[in-house]
Amino acid sequence: MKNFRKQQGSSLLEAMISLFVLGVGVLGVLALQTKSLRFNQQAYIYSQAVFLANELVEHIRINSDHAALYVKEESSSHTGSSDCIGAGSACTPTQIKDWNLSSWYTSMSERLPNGKAAIDYDGDNVTITISFDGLERIEKLEGGSESSAAERQNYILTTAI
């Protein structure tokens, strides 16, 4: 009977320890899930830049005789002159370029955060450089304060036309 009294409450202590270990495990899984969502969102944004660059390359290939017209310094917009999609519309290569770039820059502004692009052409190759804001990174500063800033990401596509 004496040994039984010494063990009273031990199962309660074991249950509390197991709940603590379970809680630490659940917090670890939640942290992993948060990181996973963040990396997934970053990959989605980067893949949008890849899709946009490939889309513009295809536009330039269609109008390849006038690829030099597409050269543009880094910018976040382009104003087009006319809509070259309407039935029966005959557009010049410059109008096609303006329309392509205008619709492409509009698409870029909708799909990339603070997206900017530069287009270069050297006679054989076209280089498209797309820069955009990645996800915000939070840093601990001296004194315990936090600073958040979006990391600038770049995607560069060089291909023959």
User: For residue 53, what are its two tokens?
Assistant: 């660059």
Is residue 138 scored above 60 in pLDDT?
no
Query: What residue type is 21 in one-letter code?
Result: V
What does the pLDDT look like over 44-77, one tens digit per residue? 999 999 999 999 999 999 988 889 999 998 888 8
Containing 6, the helix (H) or strand (E) segment is helix 2-6
Is residue 133 scored above 80 in pLDDT?
yes
Concatenate the DSSP letters of all residues of 12-54 into one string: HHHHHHHHHHHHHHHHHHHHHHHHHHHHHHHHHHHHHHHHHHH
**Contact in structure between 83 and 103 (CB atoms under 8 Å):** no
- Looking at the structure of the chain, the number of domains it has is 1
Q: What is the CA radius of gyration of the chain?
A: 28
Concatenate the DSSP letters of all residues of 64-107 into one string: GGGGGGG-EEEES----S----STT----HHHHHHHHHHHHHHH
What does the pLDDT look like over 70-127, one tens digit per residue? 999 888 888 766 677 765 567 888 888 888 899 999 999 999 999 999 999 998 899 9
CA contacts within 13 A on the Cβ side of 151: 10
* Boundaries of domain holding 67: 2-160
CA dist., res. 41 & res. 120, Å (int): 29
Please give the pLDDT value at position 110: 93
Percent of the chain, pLDDT > 90? 48
The gap from C-alpha 80 to its chain's centroid, in whole angstroms, comes to 26
